[in-house]
Chain A
């Protein structure tokens, strides 16, 4: 079975500052990794995904994440955040090679202020 840990439940940051949201996973097999974003009162939207290949993955809205197999991490970064990035961010994992179920982390609330 896979599991995901998002250590930071809330991350406050000023607009135009960089941000990193941390995600660590646990699995005995190869995995796919995902970041989803949930804006207030909306469903989840896929931000980016790692399936294979390059460990640096670029997603929508200027976000990127780096897959680090040795540290079992998949941290999300953005060099300069905007007010509109205020949302809940979820890291998720599934077993690779199959269309298997997603396991989600507990989420990180990114609060961007002026």
Chain B
């Protein structure tokens, strides 16, 4: 299993440009999520999905769109990049259960710089 993969690893954008951060998992996990990591702020949840066709907002959703057309993929879209979106982005996935705990697995991250 490749686990959770993210592309690209690094990206530089100009203000106003758009791009899509890719995330894929091969563990048949229902639950996928996107976090951003900023110095001194830990990881903050942007959007999450509990299954194909279902997405919801996290703590900091503004400026980002997501969709979930398949179980495997969960892309994150920046429609008009802003310098405030300079960050490291992590995708994560886990099984979804009605109760109890399932370990969340993280991808290696995408480092995005918006000039």
Contact = CB atoms under 8 A, between A and B. Distances in A.
Interface residues of A, number: 22
Interface string A70-114: 000000000000000000001000000111011011110000000
Interface in A1-56: 4, 6, 9, 32, 41-46, 49, 51
Interface stretch (B14-22, B64-72, B100-108): B100-108
Interface of B: 4, 31, 33, 35, 40-45, 48, 58, 90, 92, 94-104, 106-109
B42 A90 contact: yes
A46 B97 contact: no
B42 A98 contact: no
A9 B100 contact: no
Given A43-B90, A43-B108, A45-B106, A101 B40 contact: no
B108 A106 contact: no
